[in-house]
A and B are shown apart, each in its own frame.
Chain A
């Protein structure tokens, strides 16, 4: 088990290294291959009346004239040992893990990411609990009451949930519940959990439900399909023939077997979500990682995009690892070695 985890952690580090190299190449190598010069890149970050000398000086300051390998090496070095940034009247230390300085806001990227993380974690945690509980419950009930009115109704709602994007459902929900009825918080409202748990939940309930509506639908359909398969298996018939209680047949033998693919997808979904629930955060003006990423992309702020990508990749890699570990818990046939 320990060896397995160590081996997977080494693999995860290698994966992050590859992701960083590929991402860096996309932003810094591909444009060069397309004929974009360092000054062209720097031109995005200067005022509209900047002279050629200023543009060149800014490109120099951002290190864009250096070979890409040197720039990448400097970025990797920053991650492990930190970096420095000249802010005019002095030099600022950016301690490790320094993911670079924003070309636009001139702020170090890592503290920004850390600052935004609680919002995204809060959103992901609440929404994932809601969608898992609702999605799996509805899926199980639908499977057990196959072709009933409940089953058909639930699946229609599930289809709607999968089809409607959060930026639509979010804005409609805000319009109706927050600005129309005034029963939920307006967009942009967020209170840290440590400050006021009640207000934290109140402010986030609408984003949670919006995000959960999207994912619960998918989970309900997935659970339903899995349960239908499982409940038709021979061992279920055997369990019933042995006189086991129906609740035990469903819970211990049916659902547990159907859970494996759900655990897989749940782990990945949460990992992706922690990397930024982009649409939901934007719809609700929540200042999380997803909002940070869209702002960075709109501003072509390469260090920010790079930092966000690495953090998102980290969460996905970690989620994958956790999912693999959970397999052994959910499915006794799986052995980690």
Chain B
């Protein structure tokens, strides 16, 4: 999801100055103690650098106050059916309730799925093709209308209209068993869609898939399942007044400027074991200058940077030199990998040995430095980030400053003992990618691989160049900088869109390098594997196959340096989004 765009602009620059002095360790996290009772059940009372990674900092159940959040740019939409930003998926849960959500708990526990609008996680039948959820009783919209399964069905169906809601993911489009004559709730409202979603009564909703998927609860956790009352739907303009089902509702909506949320009088704590709903009000400022945003958080004028991707270089310097600020910082690993695609359409990179030569020759430390140093990320050994189930540390290639001897062996094996020439693309408006491309050019030149570098603007990078097969084939593109963040933190959420060759289209591809029928078959196997551990193992196997085929050169598993707000309670990093969890926050009174 588009943790991506913001990640790039913020985290990247940020950690360019990443200092060895601050790298690594130094946590003062005290031993965690178990908190009480609810699904969140966080450990409590930690403080210090990285304290928020595995613990709740400044725990409190005190209600009241205004939580002030800000972000450098507005995100795609506050309409749950039209958003693809990680921060948005995290935040929208304060005003919308999906069927299932992520446990508001620190670290890996935050990745656990818990029932939200539904009473329990989904019940599957028909070998994972049918999924049934029972809604909690007594849940209401902000206007006091009872929420029924039909509101959830309508919400899911409306966002299938990608001509209207262009931003959101297409999982439901791809997986629901929709009738052929159904186009959209707006253009074909009379078509019977029971083959895809049934609502036998007001509390029950049944999803029918066109193929088995054992991890459907991850779909049920998507913002698309946040109920929308059909009578209040205004298509793309619904973003002007989203009808709340969570504890907060919009008081002010000024796109690009600010959002203000106040308590929803029709939200009932008794129906919601997930949320604490501590602040009285949320003030969200949009379009705040990045350095000013950091300064305001440091000064206590703002509490949270919603983007959750890390501070700017100026603040990074302050954090490193000021012990008091350092105590307020967290440096989580994100479910994001920066990597270089090795395209195999043009010779000699259609030969796996030539692709391996590229990986052997690459200066992995140089790439880490290009991406910002140790605080910006750990050297990656595979595509799958380390925090995702199924990940295992692979040792197929060296991770130091290149192995020229092995690279030359591989070149000889692929019939190019003197090296070869190819072209590498990168996003020219991203300094980190420019540095990565230059690092590759220098490292590969040592073994005779001559790289011609071609930079393109981000806005057209995948749509017109590095993601367009017609262009890459015609222009002999061999390498392309790339990066990917998980839609949710499991193998499917991370890998499915970037290793399955059947998803490749005419343009706008994020993957043009991994094209293997064997991997495609493993993807199908993962879809159909019900047991989570077994499924994770399949994704791990896919990750290994990607590296064995030398389809990508992984650079770093991304990290961000985040700053906890002054006077903010219950602040911790959730493993679901690798940023602060926005459900549990409160304000010190």
Contacts and interface: CB of A to CB of B under 8 A. Distances in A.
Interface of A: 36, 39-40, 43-52, 54-55, 57-58, 61, 87-90, 92, 104-107, 112, 167, 171, 174-175, 178-179, 186-188, 282-285, 287, 291-292, 295, 298-300
A282 B376 CA distance: 26
Contact of B289 (A46, A92, A105, A171): A171
A48 B166 contact: no
Given A105-B255, A174-B295, A88 B508 contact: no
Nearest to A187: B292
B531 interface: no
A39 B508 CA distance: 10
27 contacts: A36-B460, A40-B460, A40-B507, A43-B462, A45-B166, A47-B84, A47-B169, A48-B2, A48-B508, A49-B497, A51-B170, A54-B162, A54-B166, A87-B235, A87-B236, A88-B186, A90-B234, A112-B256, A167-B289, A171-B295, A174-B295, A186-B296, A186-B301, A188-B288, A284-B292, A295-B73, A295-B74
B460 to A, nearest CB: 7
Interface in B1-43: 2
B289 A282 contact: yes
- Chain B contact patch, size range: 35 or more
B506 interface: yes
Instruction: Give me the 8 closest cross-chain CB pairs, A-B, nearest first.
Output: A88-B235, A43-B463, A187-B292, A179-B299, A88-B164, A89-B235, A54-B162, A87-B235
A43 B237 contact: no
Contacts of A49: 169-170, 497, 503
A93 to B, nearest CB: 13
B285 interface: yes
Given A61-B163, A179-B296, A284 B289 contact: yes
A285 B287 contact: yes
Nearest to B503: A49
B289 A283 contact: yes
User: Chain A CB within 10 Å — which of B2, B167, B233 has the most?
Assistant: B167
A187 B289 contact: yes
A163 to B, nearest CB: 20
Contact of B168 (A47, A92, A285): A47
Given A52-B506, A89-B237, A295-B74, 5 more contacts: A39-B506, A49-B170, A51-B162, A57-B162, A186-B296
Contacts of A285: 285, 287-289, 292-293
B287 A287 contact: yes
Nearest to B237: A87
A300 B459 contact: yes
Interface in B160-202: 161-164, 166-170, 186
A58 B295 contact: no
B483 to A, nearest CB: 12
Given A47-B170, A51-B170, A105 B256 contact: yes
A316 to B, nearest CB: 24
Contacts of A107: 255
Contacts of B168: 47
B557 interface: no
A223 to B, nearest CB: 32
A45 B506 CA distance: 16
A51 B166 contact: no
Contacts of B503: 49
B393 interface: no
Contacts of A50: 162, 166, 170, 508
Nearest to B291: A171
B31 to A, nearest CB: 35
Nearest to B467: A43
A283 to B, nearest CB: 6
Given A43-B463, A300-B459, A58 B292 contact: no
Interface in B269-328: 285, 287-289, 291-293, 295-296, 298-299, 301
B525 interface: no
Contact of A92 (B169, B237, B256): B237
Contacts of A292: 256
B95 interface: no
Contacts of A106: 236-237, 239
B262 interface: no
B460 A188 contact: no
B510 interface: yes
Given A47-B162, A171-B292, A283-B289, A87 B234 contact: yes
Contacts of B169: 47, 49
Where chain B touches its partner, the secondary structure class is: loop
Given A47-B84, A47-B169, A179-B298, A89 B233 contact: yes
B58 to A, nearest CB: 22
Contacts of B510: 48
B295 A57 contact: no
Contacts of A57: 162-163
B502 interface: no
Contacts of B497: 48-49
A54 B163 contact: yes
Given A54-B166, A88-B235, A291-B287, A43 B292 contact: no
A174 B292 contact: yes
A111 B301 CA distance: 30
B459 A39 contact: no
A322 B299 CA distance: 45
Contacts of B256: 105, 112, 287, 292, 295
Contacts of B292: 171, 174, 186-188, 283-285
A178 B289 CA distance: 15
Contact of A187 (B74, B161, B288): B288
A106 B463 CA distance: 21
A51 B505 contact: yes
B236 A175 contact: no
B445 interface: no
Contact of B167 (A43, A47, A188, A282): A47
User: Chain B CB within 10 Å — which of A39, A55, A106, A291 has the most?
Assistant: A106
Given A89-B234, A175-B295, A284-B292, A40 B463 contact: yes
A295 B296 contact: no
Nearest to A292: B256
A137 B223 CA distance: 60
Contacts of A171: 289, 291-292, 295
Contacts of A175: 295
Given A88-B186, A171-B292, A58 B237 contact: no
B84 A48 contact: yes
Contact of A89 (B70, B186, B506): B186
Contacts of A104: 76
Contact of A44 (B299, B463, B505): B463
Contact of B460 (A44, A88, A295): A44
A298 B459 CA distance: 8
A58 B82 CA distance: 14
A61 to B, nearest CB: 6
A99 B186 CA distance: 27
